[in-house]
Amino acid sequence: MRVEIILTRDPIARPQPAPLDAETGSLVEFFGLVRGTESGQKIEALTYESYDAMAEKIMREKIALLQKRHPIQGIRVVHRLGRVPRGEAAIYVGIQSAHRGEGFRFLQEFMKELKQDVPIWKQVVS
């Protein structure tokens, strides 16, 4: 399985998919955008900080565990750090799988676990 994790301070452009293998039948892509409100309050941006080495290590561990339940061929995660204005992407996840079901299930669980366990913190900029 191909795993690519990028933590960046640059805006997230739509990445080109990694080369597909003959077994790939689905490419599930997700962009997490900064909304204009947080907890009912208008905001200008979110600021993300991380413990980079630990964040990548935990993401890789989560990916390996999820791979056992929802087999995929590859995943690319791009998480933006620093100030992310409303309307811009804070995270991109691209998942290659044989069938869409595995890709969607993998994505759903990955995002839930990322928010719970990965040392990336956000702060509201009003």
Helices within 1-126 (DSSP H only): 52-69, 100-117
CB atoms within 10 A of CB 25: 14
Q: What local confidence, expressed as pLDDT, does residue 49 receive? A: 98
Q: What local confidence, expressed as pLDDT, does residue 22 receive? A: 85
CB 95, CB 23: distance < 8 Å: no
CB 31, CB 92: distance < 8 Å: yes
Chunked into runs of 10 residues, the chain (126 residues) has average pLDDT values of 96 80 91 95 97 98 97 96 98 96 98 97 94
pTM summary value: 0.94
